[in-house]
Structure 1
Amino acid sequence: MPATVLFQGDSITDAGRDHTRPADLGHGYAALAAAGLPAGLTVLNRGVSGNRLADLRDRWDADTLAHRPDLVSVLIGVNDTWRHYDSGLPSPADAWEDEYRRLLQRLHAHCAPRLVLIEPFLVPVTAEQRTWRQDLDPRIAAVHRLAAEHDALLLPADDLLNQAARTTGHPTRIAIDGVHPTPLGHRLLADAWLHLVRDPHRGGIPDSARNTRT
């Protein structure tokens, strides 16, 4: 049976996928990364636009555990920061980390997949967004700790995309509103993701799928 790779997250992962078509991958980094994976894999995108960690928790059973994936990639967190500033909805970083940890523990106990944890990121395009770092940076640090705890592959997306913004000369070339990647931003994420999971020393691609390319 083909191995299953599952992408989880918010609108950055969702990327306009058609929720009425379970196999649709959207038009973002998940779809781009899937195109670079070996043949024979089942690739699912279950990102949902607007999700905070609490929303992901509420659908974890149906949208993650039920698929018994062999590799799970998670990108979550920027909406927890965003809603703090635009809606006054608090999400303390320590409680957020504990909840994220519980999700990963449940996943490990259920089917023990390989994990890719992607840093939540922000490429500020306004002066106000620069103040968001005080809320987002602790979440990024939490993802680093969780990756170490679960022997997960860690994608340093915040550093990657902010460096790309400096290289290209303007943040909107990478993330049009500071949060949602442009096509170039999605391509950079996808390429970095594939670099992680293709590395045989990191063990990212499930063993059952390594030699299935035709």
Structure 2
Amino acid sequence: MSRSSTTKRIAAAVSALVLAGLVAAGAVGYLTFVRSPVNPSAADCADGRPRSEGPVVVAAGASMTQGTLGRDWVADLRARPEFADHTLVNAGDNGNTSADLRERLDTDVLACEPDAVVLLIGTNDVRDGVPLAEYRANIAAIVQRVEERTSAQVALLSLPPLGEELDSRLNRRLRDYNAALRTIAEETTAAYVPVNEHFTEALRDQSHRPAFAFSFPTAYAAAARHYLLGRTWDEVARANGLELYVDHIHLSDKGGAIVTGLVADWLATAAGPDPR
């Protein structure tokens, strides 16, 4: 074989490897950051209330609700036999703040004519430094609009810790946002669901926790381990020295199970649909 032929073969092999790497990288990016939540999503409410013999429940929030990075707790609720007659709509949207959710409330939540609304929103507000007063105003406006436009029961999920270092600067700041959620629940018909409190209790067992270190590369690497290597979200979490998160923000299987259980308990007591 000539040197020229060998060089061409090596170049072709390298090109194939590069192309395969780009395809894999693109697939991870799409599965994690681009695709819609597992159906039904908010887009399915474009023509009004989904066809459902039972209650319609909308879970609204950001990436922790969308569930394409980390455990999809909305899908886990949907799989529970006690909710077989429920339609669980995933209205999570990566990167959303409370202001973003407020802006899309009519199209992505109210358009579904829900019987129950589960709100988990605010992690990005805390990270982005959104003033507490602004956050409180957005959540209050969201709850008020749901109450005015529907007969849906509303659950306000307290924000989980940002990372597993409970006394970090971010988590000290986050306490005020959760206090605002509790106050809004007391002033309205909304229920307060203590997600943060259960996460905090689960994390008290170990004295040393890694400092908060979320970044896009960390999130992407976590997604690649799951989607390319087939690791469970708990295995991804352990690889990063974490327990309830895969990348300091998004849920491991164990973290997702806490959220699923708490929302399931609340839904078990929430009213069914009004006659239509």
Percent pairwise identity? 25
Q: Distance in 1 between matches of 2:141 and 2:150?
A: 14
Q: For residue 43 of structure 1, what is the amino acid of its counterpart?
A: L
Q: Does 1:55 align with 2:100?
A: yes
> Larger RCO: Structure 1 or Structure 2 (Cα < 8 Å, ≥ 6 residues apart)?
1
Unaligned runs of 5+ in 2: 1-52, 210-241
Q: Distance in 2 between matches of 1:51 and 1:125?
A: 22
Q: Does 1:189 align with 2:241?
A: no
Q: Does 1:40 align with 2:85?
A: yes
The alpha-carbon deviation at position 33 of structure 1 amounts to: 1.8
Q: Do the aligned residues in 1 keep the contact of 2:62 with 2:96 (CA within 8 Å)?
A: yes
Runs of 4+ in 1 over 6 A off after TM superposition: none
Q: How many residues align?
A: 190
User: What TM-score, normalized to structure 2?
Assistant: 0.63
The alpha-carbon deviation at position 38 of structure 1 amounts to: 2.6
1:112–1:149: structure 2 CA closer, same or farther, 3 Å change rule? farther
Unaligned runs of 5+ in 1: 18-25, 85-90, 210-214
**Matches of residues 94-113 of structure 1 in structure 2 within 5 Å?**
94-113=133-152
Q: Which residue of 2 aligns with 1:178?
A: 248
Q: Which residue of 1 aligns with 2:13?
A: none
Greater C-alpha radius of gyration: 2
Q: Distance in 1 between matches of 2:118 and 2:254?
A: 20
1:31–1:145: structure 2 CA closer, same or farther, 3 Å change rule? same
The alpha-carbon deviation at position 197 of structure 1 amounts to: 2.0
The alpha-carbon deviation at position 196 of structure 1 amounts to: 2.1
Spell out, residue by residue over 1:163-213, the C-alpha distance to the aligned partner (whole angstroms, 9 max, x if none).
112237776111233321111100111012112221xxxx3142569xxxx
Q: Distance in 2 between matches of 1:66 and 1:170?
A: 46
In terms of mean alpha carbon deviation, does 165-174 or 31-40 score higher? 165-174
Q: Distance in 2 between matches of 1:204 and 1:166?
A: 31
Indicate the structure with greater helix content: 2
Q: Do the aligned residues in 2 keep the contact of 1:3 with 1:41 (CA within 8 Å)?
A: yes
Q: Which residue of 2 aligns with 1:204?
A: 270
